[in-house]
Chains A and B, each alone.
Chain A
Amino acid sequence: SQQGEEDPQALSIQEGENATMNCSYKTSINNLQWYRQNSGRGLVHLILIRSNEREKHSGRLRVTLDTSKKSSSLLITASRAADTASYFCATADSGSARQLTFGSGTQLTVLP
């Protein structure tokens, strides 16, 4: 079942601007992951944040996690046209060692 809700569903920004995407979930989690999907392709893992972490950085990516609010955000700084893609959050539930539950995704368009 899909428990993650992401907003916005679609985001369009100019190159150089920052993009922020949000994800909410419902159950207790071990970790939350963000993936990127280019149109018609598979997903690529971007970053993982554990339930005991509050913030994590990787290059131009910054992820926050608020377990009390059951929400996460992905910030892409200094966006580029090549960042245009769909971004999905995925949660690894505490009760399930293997499965990930994916959010509904945010379609990001970065205009050159």
Chain B
Amino acid sequence: GAVVSQHPSRVICKSGTSVKIECRSLDFQATTMFWYRQFPKQSLMLMATSNEGSKATYEQGVEKDKFLINHASLTLSTLTVTSAHPEDSSFYICSARRPVASRFRHNSPLHFGNGTRLTVT
């Protein structure tokens, strides 16, 4: 079964509103979660790394004030798209790894949520 849950799966909002997307690890604690954006028929682009108890690390070109990330607990990270515009319409996916010893972290696969389809009208 799913080990990472993402909610909502679909959201339609009006331009200028904010949208919050939740990502939960269901049976493990995730100190780190990853947020990706995917355009149709394209690959995943890493937006930011969410760190429990500290600030998220954003990739170059991703506006931190636009995409607010909160990782307030070991099982929940949220991505808020603030003042959304039509160009923010996309598929957003989160992922997390089960905790492993740091020397094995390289070889631990990612578990993905089912994604959120955001449509801004």
Contacts and interface: CB of A to CB of B under 8 A. Distances in A.
Given A98-B49, A104-B42, A43 B112 contact: yes
Prevailing SS type, chain A contact patch: strand
B110 A100 contact: yes
Contacts of B102: 97
Interface stretch (B12-20, B64-72, B113-121): B113-121
A35 B97 CA distance: 14
A101 B34 CA distance: 12
19 contacts: A31-B106, A35-B112, A40-B91, A42-B4, A42-B93, A42-B112, A42-B115, A44-B112, A48-B107, A88-B43, A90-B110, A98-B32, A98-B49, A98-B105, A99-B34, A100-B110, A102-B44, A103-B43, A105-B42
Contacts of A102: 43-44
A11 B3 CA distance: 30
Contact of A97 (B6, B106, B110): B106
Interface string A70-112: 0000000000000000001010100001111111110100000
Nearest to B34: A99
A99 B44 CA distance: 12
Nearest to A107: B41
Contacts of B7: none
A15 B41 CA distance: 23
A67 interface: no
Nearest to B61: A1
B109 A88 contact: no
